[in-house]
Amino acid sequence: MKVLCLHGKGTSGSIFKSQTATFRSHLKDLPINFDFIDGPYPSPAAPGIDLFYPAPYYSFWEDDSLEAVQKTCDWLKGLIAERGPYDAVMMFSQGCAVGAAMLLLHHAADGAKPAPFKAAIFICGGTPLGVLESVGFNVPDKVKERDRAGREALAAQADSASILARGSARWTGEASAAGSGKVDVDEEVFRQEIRGPFRLGIPTVHVYGNRDPRYVAGVQLSGICEPETRKVFDHGGGHEIPRTERVSRTIADLVRWVLLEACA
């Protein structure tokens, strides 16, 4: 089994490899080749990342305009042709946006053809809203405003000063539920906010944390995937991959499930 791994903005393939090492250690019994690649664009470090990991850092696009997203998807197609095929894709943060965009654009262009991946693992990430609109989804203004606020809150809560001052307590999730500071809304309400002409039908896993300012974006990404072939897990933290035993084993079990579904 071969899995393409797409990192977050301002990090790298080697950083994503480190971030996922704990839960991947529970999958050593499976013949999995995790291929951690670097994005094509040099990037400043993501907020706070330079406290833990040295340069270089990369991004998958310079902005999330439709033109830039399509350019990255074309680049990724070339990489898959060269290094693939891949059974699945595993993503974190911006990587989720890249993978989701590629799957959405593929389905809209020719949904009858097999998707570029047979399964997907999304961790703490959402979908580019412009891509959703371009393929026929209705994205209300309140979703766009929450998305903007979530990005701003993430930058503030993830920066070096917040890490040094507050540690894991910095994850307040203030923008998660329309600025309420507390997520007390049924996730299905968020999933129903974005409606479209199709859902992604491949098996998917969605991992997110209810203290992440991008929590709702992760929930809504799960909403554009078929309920019958998706599994979700709220790890209870922020914009991160917690390394506790409980969380690591749960994520590993979900990855195991989705890969076996893909290769069945």
- State residue 185's pLDDT score: 65
* pLDDT computed for residue 181 by the predictor: 45
Q: Residue 47: which pLDDT band, with cuts at 50, 70 and 90? A: confident
pLDDT tens string 73-102:
999 999 999 999 999 999 999 999 999 999
Residue type at 238 in one-letter notation: G
Q: Which two tokens stand for residue 8?
A: 């977050």
Beta strands across the sheet bearing 204-208: 33-36, 2-6, 88-92, 119-123, 204-208, 230-234
pLDDT digits (tens, 9 = 90+) for 221-234: 999 999 999 999 99
Supply the DSSP symbol for 214. Answer: T
Q: Where are the alpha helices (DSSP H) in 47-125?
A: 66-83, 94-110
What percentage of the chain reaches a pLDDT higher than 90? 83
Q: What structural domains does the chain harbor?
A: 2-262 (3.40.50.1820)
Could you give the CA distance from residue 110 to residue 74 in angstroms, rounded to a whole number? 15
Say what the pTM is: 0.93
d(CA 260, CA 264): 6
